[in-house]
Structures are given as C-alpha cells and as structure tokens.
Structure 1
C-alpha cells in the first residue's frame, strides 16, 4: 500500500469515527479538543518516523511492451523527482523497453491501431515528509517503427530526452521545478511541441535542417533563441525556410519564472 494512501486512510477513518461518536453523545463533553491535539501529534510523528518505517522501492524493474500490430502510439510519462532518460533504441517489434528504479505503474490499452501507454511513478507521495527522497530513475527506449505522440508530466526532476531518430508528431510537456534537455526529431515531417513550465530550466534543440516556428508567452522568463537560425518577427520566431521545409517543428512555450533556450 502506498504511504500517502495509508496515512490519509487512517486519518479520515479516525476523524469519521470520532465525529460520529461525538454526535451521538458517546464521548464525554470537551473530549473533542483533546482529539484534535492528539491528531496533530500523530501526524507529526508520522512525518518524522514514516520515511524510516517505509523504505522506498530501490530495486530495478524492467519493462518490455510489444507493438502487437499497433501502427501508432500515445505514451504518457508521469514522473516525479529524480532522473528521466528517454531515447530511441527499443528492439524490433517492441514499442517500449526500459529500466525503472523507484517503481513504475504501467498501463497499456489498444484502440484500433492506436496503442495508449501510461507510465506512472510508483509510490508517488505528495504528503510533505513522506517523499521518496532518492527519487525515481527511469531509462526508457522507444520504437522507431511507428509514429508517436508523447506527453511528459514531471515534478522536480532532471530529464534528458533525445527524439532525434523518432517519428514524433506531437509533444506536450508539463513541468515544475525541473531541468529538461530535449532534442527534437530530425525527420518526422511536422512536429508540434507545447511546453508549460514553472520555475524550470528548459533547453530545446532543433536539429540542423529542421525549420521552426516558435512562440513564447507570459511569465518572468529568461529567453534565449538562436536568432541566426530562427529570426525574430512580429511576436514570434521563424526559420526563413519554414513554409517549404520537409521537416519542421511548431514550438509553443508558456511559463513562469523559467529559463528557456531554443537552439
């Protein structure tokens, strides 16, 4: 059982029983004040002792998902604190292969010729004091054989994503206080990239020979765009060859106090 589920399950059950007992007059008058004080003490002890009683899973798991006739795939990464590496390199007939330290909860569904995969961090604890302090370490290899759509939902992590040789049509990134380096596809035709970030460091690399249209909006962002490749125009940046390029990317970035590099 996940630690946050156990903790909140105990808390809600105890509160419910206590309020019920108080409402039917089972508890002596004034006892409820002592209950709230005791509950706070219990919560404090749980935050202090819980991480020592429930050690995070540090064993390495492997995952191998076959294509099984899929002609396209949508893959969602729900990663917490730690390190994430995504690249090509899945074996023939495999959609996704990888190693996972800290745990992973994979789900896979088929909708016609579309394979939908969700990789969720195991034991993802959101209660302060119960965090998996060592973080998650994922190394994921994807197929080159079919077109992909990728979504990344990340916390305070360090992500290295190399999509150079992959056929990725759509990329969505939602990230908080993280560091992301992403190499975009070089021969995927049209790729759409949307990044929503908080206090993050984001570096996007556009391969040589790939044209780009770039829009950046809002926040206290530090923006560094290679204007020799992507000249600044009226509210956006765009390659001179964008309209006729065989391979191109549309990049949209929205963020807060972020550092953005597009090279």
Structure 2
C-alpha cells in the first residue's frame, strides 16, 4: 500500500526537477569580440557594414575612431573586420560571414554595437538581413548613406546631418526615418518600401517635396498636394531642398513634419 504514494511522490519530484531545469537552463554561451580602429590621420571614411540577422546599434562619438563590440553565440558569426588607409582615406568593412542558413534559434544572440566618429566625412553602406536595427547619426558628417533592410524593425535618425544622397530599401516590417533639423545642403533621397509601415519625419524650416507611389495607405499630415508631390510650407522658399521619392509596396506610409 505504501508503494503507490512513494511512486507518486517520486513522479512529482522528478517532474518538478525537469520543469525547473527547463526553466532555468541558461542561454547558449556568449562569445565576445571588440576592436578599436584609430582614424587620427583619416580625412574621409568609406564604410560598409553587413549583419545577416540579430540586433544592430550604430551611434556616433567625438573620438576620431570606430569602436565596435559584438556578442554572439556561434563561432562562425564572428564579424570579419578589414581596414585600409589610403592617403588620408579610410576604407572600412565589417561583415558577418556568409552562411547558407542564418536563422537564429531560441536563446541565440548576435548583437552588434558600433560607434562612428561624428566629425569624419563618411560614405556609409549598411545591409541587415533580419532583426532590429537602430541607426542614430544625428549631427554627423554623413555624405552618403545606402541602406538595405530585410525583415524587422528599423529606426534611422539623420537629423542635422550633411547627407546629400540617401538610398533606402526596406523589406518586411517597420521603418522610421528622421530627416529633420537644419541643413546646409540639398538632399536627394530614394526610398523603396516593401511590406510594412514607413514613417517619414521631415523638417518644417527647409523646403521639402515628396513623390509617393504604392498600393498602401498614405497619411500626409502637415503637407499639401501640389503637382503630384507632397510639399511643406517652406517649399520654394529656402535655398536647400529635400527631394524625396518613395516607392512603397503594400504597407502604409506616414509623412509628418517635425514638432
């Protein structure tokens, strides 16, 4: 008669142990790598960044250097970094090695954090497959930015920058693009949207015209329609112009002026 209660007790104890083990099993071991690239004698920078999947954060700093740190759970995800100085021009490449299958499994991590120099004129090319990306280059001397985003949520802040050429290709997900602030030069921008939401934040004090095509809904608060374009009140009244073309897919487009 005592065997059944004992067996039942052992059953519950074993079950509790297994459930507890499952709940507290730690994430896969983390690998870390860091690198600092000195740009003391570099006058211009050409940078290409490519991450296949994960979390990406790009910001700026006063230091004339690139600071990069990475956390990942697979050895073959370790980024390949190449830097070549050429008579005052720096050519930088940071890429995740190509794989046939880059799907991230549960508890896997691939996290990038890169700081670029704010004062060095830069041409930047950025590609991200899937994940979450934050690009904050506010106040930086960015001449050109080319960005390809796959699936995920992406936020790009180019407020108060000198960017003159901008090309953005978005896939599936949400993209917020901030182009507000003071400008000293014109901007030519081409934005290709996929399936998702595009939020475009524009300045009030600089002339803006936006041409939009696509199948999704368009919300253009604060702008008026003029000859096939959406324009702000400053359009035609300032020496600088933001000339933006948006080719959207099936997602919605929200265009708003800075508050």
The TM-score, its normalising length taken from structure 2, stands at: 0.65
Q: Give distance in 2, aligned partners of 1:202 and 1:74.
A: 24
How many angstroms does 1:169 deviate by?
1.7
Residues 249, 241 of structure 1: CA spacing in aligned structure 2 closer, same or farther, 3 A cutoff?
A: same
Following TM superposition, by how much is the alpha carbon of 1:117 offset from its aligned partner in structure 2, in angstroms? Answer: 1.2
Partner of 2:39: 67
Native 8 Å contact 1:191 1:248 kept in 2: no
> Aligned residue for 2:210?
214
Structure 1 residue 138 displacement after superposition: 0.7
How far apart in 1 are the matches of 2:212 and 2:29? Answer: 39
Match of 1:109 in 2: 84
Richer in strand (by share): 2
CA distance in 2: counterparts of 1:262 and 1:142, whole angstroms: 28
Determine the structure 2 residue equivalent to 1:42: none
Is 1:185 the counterpart of 2:159 in the alignment? yes
> What stretches of structure 1 of length at least 5 have no aligned partner?
1-54
2:128 corresponds to 1:166: no
8 Å Cα contact 1:197/1:256 also seen in 2:
no
What CA distance in whole angstroms lies between the structure 1 residues aligned with 2:132 and 2:148? 13
Is 1:238 aligned with 2:231? Answer: yes
Deviations 1:112-153 (CA, angstroms, capped at 9, x unpaired): 33212111114x4233xx634324211111101211111111
Aligned partner of 1:85 in structure 2 is 57
Aligned Cα RMSD in Å?
A: 2.8
- Structure 1 residues 234, 157: closer, same or farther in 2, change over 3 A? farther
Instruction: Tell me: CA distance 1:222–1:175, structure 2 relative to 1, closer, same or farther (3 Å).
Output: farther
1:202-259 residue CA offsets vs partner (Å, 9 max, x unmatched): 11122244434434444x445444x41x444333333443556476644444443445
* Distance (whole Å) between structure 1 residues aligned to residue 91 and residue 29 of structure 2: 26
For residues 217 and 132 of structure 2, what CA distance do their matches in structure 1 show?
19
Counterparts of 1:131-150 in structure 2 under 5 Å?
131-133=103-105, 134-150=108-124
Paired residues, number: 200
**Structure-2 change in CA distance of 1:213 and 1:244 (3 Å):** same
| Richer in helix (by share) | 1
C-alpha distance in structure 2 between counterparts of 1:160 and 1:173, whole Å: 12
Q: Which runs of 5+ in 2 are unaligned?
A: 1-26, 73-77, 183-202
CA separation of 1:64 and 1:201: change in aligned 2, threshold 3 A: same
Q: Distance in 2 between matches of 1:97 and 1:248?
A: 33
Task: Please give the alpha-carbon distance, in whole angstroms, between the structure 1 residues aligned to 2:240 and 2:116.
Answer: 20
Report the Cα offset of residue 168 of structure 1: 1.0
Counterparts of 2:69 and 2:91, CA distance in 1? 19
Where does residue 178 of structure 2 map in the other structure? 205
Measured in 2, the distance between the counterparts of 1:233 and 1:57 equals 57
- TM-score, normalised to structure 1, is 0.65
